[in-house]
Amino acid sequence: MEVVGLLCMTTAVLIWALLWVWDSSKLKRTREKAGLLGAGSQTLLMIAHPDDEAMFFAPTVLGLVRLKHQVSLLCFSAGNYYNQGEIRKKELLQSCDVLGIPPSRVMIIDSRDFPDDPGVQWDTEHVASVLLQHIKVNGINLVVTFDAGGVSGHSNHVALYAAVRALHSEGKFPKGCSVLTLQSVNVLRKYFSILDLPWSLLQMQDVLFVLTSEEVSRAKKAMSCHRTQLLWFRRLYIFFSRYMRINSLHFLSSLEEFSDLRNKGEQ
């Protein structure tokens, strides 16, 4: 019993220390982000499937809403892998509403060109064309999407990154439009929940969003809207994943593109 008590006390102290570190840096980081990501920005979250917005990007969405961004969402599929597309569209709208994105700012592409299928490679030029048109029509000045790892390695996630990278390298983004990509981390960090915070604080990133306890509840509520996806392992994901609490993001840069191309050349 003494060992159990000591373990509980140690865990409590560790959690308190983590929260103290976060609270002490919260104001500073909020000011930095406010200067970097100005209030009133027209921000587009680009995802591949309904539930990506809650499962991976909830800290980013809630953080941007906190910074007074006008957040909209572009989803490239209806998530019809198990013929549940119509239901999943409704679930996405409900989830976005919880996160602070109204239905009027949600666009779902339900096309055979972009099937929900990890075995199908989406055409990079086609994705890029659809994205660029959406950016121009809606006056978007910040795009948020996956990085080269796609968090889970899903080919549809990676296809979105390939499209923004191609547009960026070709100089096709409108002037003043930037791209933030969500950092993929290793499996250990991915399921370390809030305990990943010290590593996140020490790692290099351009933007870091960490949710408060109240915001974590909203993120979980948003994920719970995706009832068709709440299998037992996703319930474990909600409890353990850092992506329900922490998002580290990088601005897309020429240096990042060069690194990706160099890595491909070495393979």
- How confident is the model over 173-181, as a mean pLDDT? 95
Residue 1: pLDDT band with limits 50, 70, 90? low
- How confident is the model over 196-200, as a mean pLDDT? 91
| pLDDT, tens only, 78-92 | 999 999 999 999 999
Residue 10: pLDDT band with limits 50, 70, 90? low
CB-CB contact of 71 with 106 (8 Å): no
Give the span between the Cα atoms of 263 and 242, in whole angstroms.
27
**Strand-strand pairing, 207-210 and 246-251:** antiparallel
- How confident is the model over 242-252, as a mean pLDDT? 96
Residue 256: pLDDT band with limits 50, 70, 90? low
Task: Give the DSSP H or E segment for 178.
Answer: strand 178-182
Helix (H, G, I), strand (E, B) or coil at 250: strand
Domain 26-266: top CATH class: alpha beta
Q: Above 50 in pLDDT, residue 30?
A: no
Helix (H, G, I), strand (E, B) or coil at 251: strand
pTM of this prediction? 0.84
Q: Where exactly are the structural domains of the chain? A: 26-266
Q: Above 50 in pLDDT, residue 258?
A: no
188-to-132, 193, 209 alpha-carbon distances in Å: 36, 10, 19
Q: Above 70 in pLDDT, residue 263?
A: no
- How confident is the model over 194-216, as a mean pLDDT? 91
Q: Above 50 in pLDDT, residue 72?
A: yes
pLDDT at residue number 34: 38
| pLDDT, tens only, 32-71 | 443 456 677 899 999 999 999 999 999 999 999 999 999 9
pLDDT at residue number 241: 97
pLDDT at residue number 255: 43
Residue 253: pLDDT band with limits 50, 70, 90? confident
Q: Which residues pair with 146 in a beta bridge?
A: 182
pLDDT at residue number 14: 57
